[in-house]
A = this chain, B = another copy of it.
Amino acid sequence: MSTAEADDAGPTVADLGEEGLLAAIAPLLPQATRVLVPSGDDSAVVAAPDGRYCISTDVLVEGEHFRPDWSTGRDVGARAAAQNLADIAAMGARPTALVVSLVLPRATPVAWVQDLARGFADACVGTDAGVVGGDLSVGERVVVAVTVHGDLGGRQPVLRSGARPGDVVVHVGTLGRSAAGLALLQAGLDDRADVWGEAVDAARAGLASECLRIYRAPAPPLAAGPALADAGAGAMLDVSDGLLRDADRIARASGIVVDIADPDDDPDTGQAHDLAALEPIARLLREEAAAARSLARAWVLTGGEDHGLLATLPAAAGRLPEGARVVGAVRARCEGEPAGALIGGRVPDQLGWDHFRA
């Protein structure tokens, strides 16, 4: 269902009007446990028991971040929520409250917006977070702008700037799945479309579906954020623009070098496992084995939007938190060397994604 086509899709947002639309989606939105004044007044009021709160914001734009023929409303809602929730986890905090500004074409089916609300609820399962407010507006394309809030529970926030020489670099979550899912869709390989069954053998269907699922609605390891903070993480962020680009951000903020292990050199790293997992998917798009491996390597090292957590931990931290896999190491800069990320000790050809230049 397209957001802009209302044929047989029931009433549109223009049919219901602003208050009618709000009434149609409000019961579907996730409820926040920390809210003192809920949605419906000029502002919501949320509890901040330790006297501080985290804020982050992220926006999804139809045609730029998602295509309505590839993603349902539910996918878009889950993705918009998940990428915001990951930013809170990456501080070592727990998400508490979201507000959502929606820009919708007048012809958008109400059912699509209800699906979007269900996606928000999906992403908030297992958390205390809920939607405490929002704004509805009309426009030519769908825009979903989310602001998320979190509670540090007395922890110090884990910034990007706290990486120290000798730290290990760990990652929790998946790498490259979202980029692989997008590449499958761009090649016409959609598990929700008829073309799928003919083009993909059964053995790879599950793997490919996992990539498509993560592209459409990533599932960041939210609980790992506070766990990594408690384990002594010096620096942390969620991988939204690719492992190398986001490692580079930690490196530059911390004034050190992050050396990401090359998966061709070290088969025991997290990225080597992800690369091995994604090679069969890349073979769906590249017949030649070397070309397929190169494509999978690009997904793992420079593909963003799986929203796993990348953190640095003191080498003496002991047992890694659940799900954490070593992906590299932190070292001091040599004389004259700039801060930044390396891959296998070398300066990478490209880091990843810049939305404005694409």
* Chain A interface residues (CB < 8 Å from chain B): 13-14, 16-19, 21, 36-37, 40-49, 51-61, 63-65, 86-88, 90-91, 93, 97, 99-101, 103, 106, 132-141, 143, 145, 147-150, 152, 157, 159-160, 236-238, 253, 354-358
Q: Which residues of B contact A64 (CB under 8 A)?
A: 137-139
Kindly report which residue of chain B lies nearest to residue A240, judged by CB atoms: B42
* Pick from B21, B48, B135, B237: contact of A356, CB under 8 Å: B21
- List the B residue with the shortest CB-CB distance to A161: B41
Closest beta carbon of chain B to A237's beta carbon, Å: 5
The CA-CA distance from A145 to B37 in the complex, in Å, is: 22
The CA of A48 and the CA of B46, in the complex, are separated in Å by 10
The reply to whether A43 and B56 contact each other, CB–CB distance below 8 Å, is yes
Nearest B residue to A35 via CB reads B55
Q: Are A355 and B55 in contact (CB under 8 A)?
A: no
B159 close to A37 (CB less than 8 A) = yes
CB atoms of B356 and A106 under 8 A apart:
yes
Query: What is the CA–CA distance of A63 and B105 in the complex, to the nearest angstrom?
Result: 12
**A63 engages B139 (CB within 8 Å):** yes
Report Cα–Cα, A106/B93, bound state, in Å: 34
Bound CA–CA A36/B159 (angstroms): 12
Residue of B with least CB distance to A102: B59
The closest CB in chain B to the CB of A12 belongs to: B356
Specify which chain B residues have a CB less than 8 angstroms from the CB of A52 in the assembled complex.
Answer: 36, 45-48
Cβ-defined contact, B157 with A37, below 8 A: yes
Is A149 in contact with B55, judged by CB distance below 8 angstroms?
A: yes
